[in-house]
Amino acid sequence: MKLLHHIVRKVFQPLFFLALALLPGLSGEAGANERLKLKTVVIDAGHGGKDPGCVSRDGRVYEKNINLDIARKLGSRITDAYPDVKVIYTRSSDVYVTLNNRAEIANRNNANLFISIHVNAASSAQAHGFSTHILGNDKLSSNMDVCRRENSVILLEDDYTTDYQGFDPNDPESFIFFNLMQNAFYEQSLTFAAEADKELVKGPVTHSRGISQDPFWVLWRTKMPAVLVEVGFMSNAADLKKLNSASGRSEIAGRLFQAFRSFKAKYDESLDYSTESTSAAADGYGVQIFVLSKRLAPGDKAFEGYDAEAVPAGGMYKYVIRASSEGAARTLYGKIRKTFPGSFPVRMENGNVSPL
């Protein structure tokens, strides 16, 4: 029971930040919809500074430089096509940034999408192709090497045992944490991953190793749809040739840009659609306990025994426990706010949920 409680906390606590982030846009005023569209993307060039990432066999090509170049090319494609989308880089030069700071940059800016760019490597020179990863834990064995490598950046930090909650990149047991968050942005992350996979296969690296769910720390810490792309293998001669050419990197950035374009169209459209369909929720009062992208069944254990209603909002569901009046909503809030940190009393009107 204690463990269950701990798990529920672990899963939902980060979502409250999301609930807060969505608040100003969901107050039901005209133009609220406009404000909920995809406005901010964070592009994360993996590694940097003292952390080169993987290195080519001849020691001349560093992953960190390839990542940065593709990240910047992708960013400028987005800026050119969508001047009102804010493009934020976790690094725009050859500097070292911790995994926590990368996620923190995205969270602080309320980004709608996080794209992390990496290059793969293997002991076999035969392994080749690109792969797309979203957060999860269901294929531990197959991608354990790449996860261990990408996560092991943590070990470069002096205080990693405290800053990373005892997580040890070399201990598969500690990866169990990662299971807990995967439901929150799963669908949206998968949508971008599928677009990326569909585009990247057009080349220059044409072999897709598929989309998988893996325990990458940086994906776990970001509170938004997040995808990590390994654009090819440093250890494969054919892949390396493409990655090491400016035109190859431009092409890869172009593929990722097309994926972004499709994702943005879907993201913006889903908001329009769900705003129209929210009229189903009856007017009244209650306490919003959290927001999820997934629809939980009535009686789900996450509701802690309360009766919560799912109100569609911006491609997500706001979960509200009903109360009979404004006063009752405030009383209920006082009673359950410790059970649901980040909850707040709300009014429901014309399908919109707004704070009291």
Residues within the interface to Zn ion (CB under 5 A): 46, 53, 118, 150
Please, which residue, 157 or 300, has the CB nearer to Zn ion? 157
Residue nearer to Zn ion on the CB measure, 92 or 262: 92
CB of 47 to Zn ion, least distance (A): 6
CA distances from 177 to 116, 136, 155, 172, 250 (A): 20, 10, 18, 10, 36
Beta-sheet strand order (sheet of 316-323): 308-313, 316-323, 284-292, 344-349, 352-355
Strand ranges (E), the chain: 40-45, 86-89, 113-120, 130-135, 208-214, 226-233, 284-292, 308-313, 316-323, 344-349, 352-355
Q: How far is the CB of 4 from Zn ion (least distance, A)?
A: 35
Toward Zn ion, which CB reaches closer, 118 or 128?
Answer: 118
Q: Which is nearer to Zn ion, 197 or 230 (CB)?
A: 230
Element (H, E) at 4: helix 2-22
Task: Give yes or no for a contact between 264 and 86, defined as CB atoms under 8 angstroms apart.
Answer: no
Lookup result for tokens 């009535």: 298
Q: For Zn ion, give the closer residue by CB, 231 or 323.
A: 231
Give the residue from 285, 154, 298 showing the smallest Cα distance to 218.
154
CB of 62 to Zn ion, least distance (A): 11
For the CA atoms of 275, 280, 286, 287, the dihedral, rounded to the nearest 10 degrees, stands at: -40
Write the DSSP string, 197-226: HHHHTTSSS--EEEEEEE--HHHHH-SS-E
CA gyration radius, the chain: 21
Smallest separation (angstroms) from Zn ion to the CB of 323:
49
For Zn ion, which is the closer residue by CB, 150 or 197?
150
CB of 122 to Zn ion, least distance (A): 13
Nearest to 229 by CA among 141, 124, 113, 107: 113
Smallest gap, in angstroms, from Cβ of residue 63 to Zn ion? 5
Smallest CA-to-CA distance from 130 within 71, 64, 197 is with 197
CB 46, min distance to Zn ion, A: 4
Using left for φ > 0, alpha for ψ between -120 and 50, and beta otherwise, residue 155 falls in alpha
Please report how the helices 186-200 and 246-277 are oriented relative to each other, as an axis angle in degrees rounded to 10. 140
- Give the nearest distance from C-beta 144 to Zn ion in angstroms: 15
- 46 vs 314, which CB is nearer to Zn ion? 46
For Zn ion, the closer of residues 116 and 183 by Cβ is 116
> Is residue 95 within 8 Å of 44, Cβ to Cβ?
no
Nearest-approach distance from CB 70 to Zn ion, in angstroms: 12
Cβ–Cβ < 8 Å for 352, 28: yes
The smaller minimum CB distance to Zn ion, of residues 226 and 320, is found at 226
Which residue has the CB atom at the shortest distance from Zn ion?
118
